Amino acid sequence: MRYAYYPGCSLHSTASDYQQSIDSVFRKLSVELQEVEDWTCCGASAAHVSDPLLPLVLPARDLIKVEKMALDVMVPCAACYNRMRTTNYKLRENVELRKTVNQILQADYRADVRVRHISDVVVNDCGLEAIARLLEKDLKGMKVVCYYGCLSARPQKIVAFDDPVYPSYLDRLIKTLGGEAIEWPFKTECCGGSFSVSKKEVVLKLTHELLDMAQSLGAEAVVVDCPLCQFNLDFRQEEVEERYRKRFSLPVFYFTQLLGASLGLGAETLGLKKLNIDPFPLLERKNIRT
């Protein structure tokens, strides 16, 4: 299997551990990722709140590069994924708009590149049965909540590849790895996303609600597949604890890190030391040596 790969800006900075675990896990799964050459930012929130064309032009620039590779493109960041899917959708729906965007790009993009979320590729293309055959370690009933967030679920008709309100693909993966995925009501609630810096109060409140619910249901960790969610839940966690006078100490894993650990990969190659809340006490309790 081969995919074009669009990492997005976070994977080169605050989510470099996500990137490391993706590299090693996909090698182990024998899936080849070919990074889109000279890719640029999707524009994120800043583009779509300030201009009608920029949030389409920016992802389209990258998608045109993918089109030339004649592959599906796999995207690990929910925000980039959402922007790319939205661009394709809008350009397909509105011929005039597509003409305008193509005129700006001096291109002839038909908006038919298939944009795939990383979890969709792992769970549905690689498949849980094939993954089960490769496992070397067992999560030994580790209790986690799988947190999916907003941008790979909504708007449903544009981005969803599972139930948009109560998805289960990460839960099913965790069960395959021998963990226990706790049912919980906040799977697709919002963490505050890009307000982490410019409106931190909102992020602290929303992540507090998520962490509090996870803990009250007995979760030992949170599993995510979005760099924004991971950042807010993990790197803002001590501030949440201070603000709300509670103790959580809940590690927040990228799903690729737990998958990698189960595939027998080491802590270094999975970037586990880059997590803010130390995951090693939990991993040792479960006797998972990485």
Site for another protein, rule CB under 8 A: 9-10, 12-17, 38-41, 43-54, 57, 61, 94, 100, 103-105, 150-151, 154-156, 164, 189-190, 192-195, 197-199, 201-202, 205-206, 235-236, 273-274, 276
Minimum Å gap between C-beta 113 and another protein is: 18
Nearer CB in complex with another protein: 126/206: 206
Minimum Å gap between C-beta 86 and another protein is: 10
Minimum Å gap between C-beta 181 and another protein is: 23
What pairs with residue 34 in β-bridges? 4
SS3 (DSSP) at 226? coil
**Strands, sheet with 180-181, edge to edge from the N-terminal-most edge strand:** 180-181, 143-147, 221-224, 252-254
Minimum Å gap between C-beta 232 and another protein is: 11
Nearer CB in complex with another protein: 3/186: 186
Nearer CB in complex with another protein: 131/214: 214
Residues 6+ positions from 93 with CB-CB distance below 8 Å: none
List the structure tokens of 228. Answer: 């924004």
Minimum Å gap between C-beta 177 and another protein is: 25
Nearer CB in complex with another protein: 10/119: 10
Nearer CB in complex with another protein: 190/211: 190
CA–CA gap between residue 267 and residue 261 (Å, rounded): 8
CA–CA gap between residue 288 and residue 268 (Å, rounded): 14
Cα dist from 248 to 53, 235, 241, 270, 278, whole Å = 42, 13, 7, 23, 12
Label residue 191 left, alpha or beta by phi (over 0 means left) and psi (-120 to 50 means alpha): alpha
Minimum Å gap between C-beta 38 and another protein is: 5
List the structure tokens of 30. Answer: 């024998």
CA–CA gap between residue 183 and residue 257 (Å, rounded): 21
Nearer CB in complex with another protein: 43/179: 43
Taking alpha carbons only, the member of 72, 156, 54, 58 closest to residue 112 is 72
Minimum Å gap between C-beta 193 and another protein is: 5
Nearer CB in complex with another protein: 208/286: 208
